[in-house]
């Protein structure tokens, strides 16, 4: 079996490693040749579903859907990942936090609100900043959840040795040629080089919010905050 990219020391995110291995196992079970290299895998993912000879169970895909378009993850691919539980598992962190706070009583309501606000406003931060946050009185009851919410910035986000974030949503961007790709395709900063801002710290000192939390907490949370700002500017409240 062809070895998929490792999760250590190579510029591939762990999700790619996992996805490659899962696809390889599925294709092997059905007697199909597996992608022998990363370029071959990417080329395959650009092809419309269903792929010849590959039996796919019913799910969140439709004939003609592609997993990648111009080397970029499509919404169809994200929906398939959700049905597999990858992004959903990260989203479930918020439910666990809420359940934990409810069990402890109303005194932890401010902790839950502060936790959610922190994830919205700090999608990328330094290790030391996360450590400082764990000392906040409101966040202290949720320290373990807070640590679980973040991950190291993957090497795939580096460009010229630097990490770039979107100035609109604050999360890391990846690059396709000279275009920065935001994790949220409807973000105003998507594909706009002027929106990619370098972080003035080495990648080893940085953490980012996990993708599922970015999608289900940060993105809608930023929209909520903008809506409230507009209401306040009109003196409705």
In this structure, the answer to whether residues 32 and 139 fall within a common structural domain is no
State residue 3's pLDDT score: 43
Number of structural domains the chain divides into: 2
45 pLDDT above the threshold of 80: yes
What are the beta bridge partners of residue 162? Answer: 159
Q: State yes or no: pLDDT of 152 exceeds 80.
A: yes
Q: Which domain does 29 fall in, by range?
A: 14-84
Is this model's pTM higher than 0.75 or not?
no
Q: Which of 68, 84, 100 is the last residue of a domain?
A: 84
What's the CA gap between 115 and 117, in Å, rounded?
6
| Segment of 56-65, 91-100, 159-168, 189-198 carrying the highest mean pLDDT | 159-168
Pair (100, 188) in one structural domain: yes
Residue-level pLDDT at 76: 75
Check whether residue 190 and residue 73 sit in a common domain.
no
Please check whether residues 104 and 188 belong to one and the same domain. yes
**Domain boundary pick from 36, 60, 84:** 84
**Residue 29 pLDDT > 60:** yes
Euclidean distance between CA atoms 58 and 222, whole angstroms? 34
Looking at the fold, whether 124 and 194 belong to one and the same domain comes out as yes
Same domain as 217, residue 109? yes
Mean pLDDT of the chain: 82
Shared domain check, 213 and 109: yes
Closest CA to 124 of 100, 92, 157, 94: 157
Count the Cβ atoms, other than its own, within 10 Å of residue 232: 10
| Secondary structure letter of residue 59 according to DSSP | S
Q: Which of 218, 214, 87, 208 is nearest to 152 (CA)?
A: 208
Please give the C-alpha separations between residue 197 and each of 13, 48, 150, 154, 189, in angstroms, as whole numbers: 21, 34, 20, 17, 10
């Amino acid at each position: 079996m062809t070895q998929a990219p490792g999760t250590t020391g190579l510029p591939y995110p762990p999700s790619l490693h996992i996805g490659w291995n899962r696809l390889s196992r599925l294709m092997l079970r059905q007697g199909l040749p597996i992608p022998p290299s990363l370029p071959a895998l990417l080329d395959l993912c650009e092809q419309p579903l269903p792929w010849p000879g590959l039996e796919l169970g019913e799910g969140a895909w439709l004939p003609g859907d592609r997993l990648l378009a111009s080397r970029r993850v499509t919404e169809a691919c994200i929906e398939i990942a959700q049905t597999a539980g990858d992004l959903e598992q990260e989203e479930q962190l918020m439910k666990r936090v809420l359940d934990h706070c409810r069990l402890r009583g109303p005194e932890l309501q401010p902790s839950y609100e502060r936790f959610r606000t922190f994830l919205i406003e700090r999608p990328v931060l330094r290790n030391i900043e996360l450590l400082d946050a764990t000392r906040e009185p409101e966040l202290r009851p949720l320290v373990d959840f807070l640590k679980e919410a973040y991950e190291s910035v993957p090497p795939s986000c580096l460009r010229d040795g630097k990490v770039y974030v979107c100035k609109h949503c604050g999360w890391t961007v990846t690059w396709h040629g000279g275009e920065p790709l935001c994790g949220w395709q409807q973000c105003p900063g998507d594909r706009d080089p002027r929106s990619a801002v370098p972080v003035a710290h080495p990648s080893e000192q940085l953490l980012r919010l996990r993708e599922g939390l970015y999608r289900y907490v940060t993105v809608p949370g930023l929209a909520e905050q903008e809506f409230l700002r507009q209401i306040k500017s009109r003196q409705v409240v």
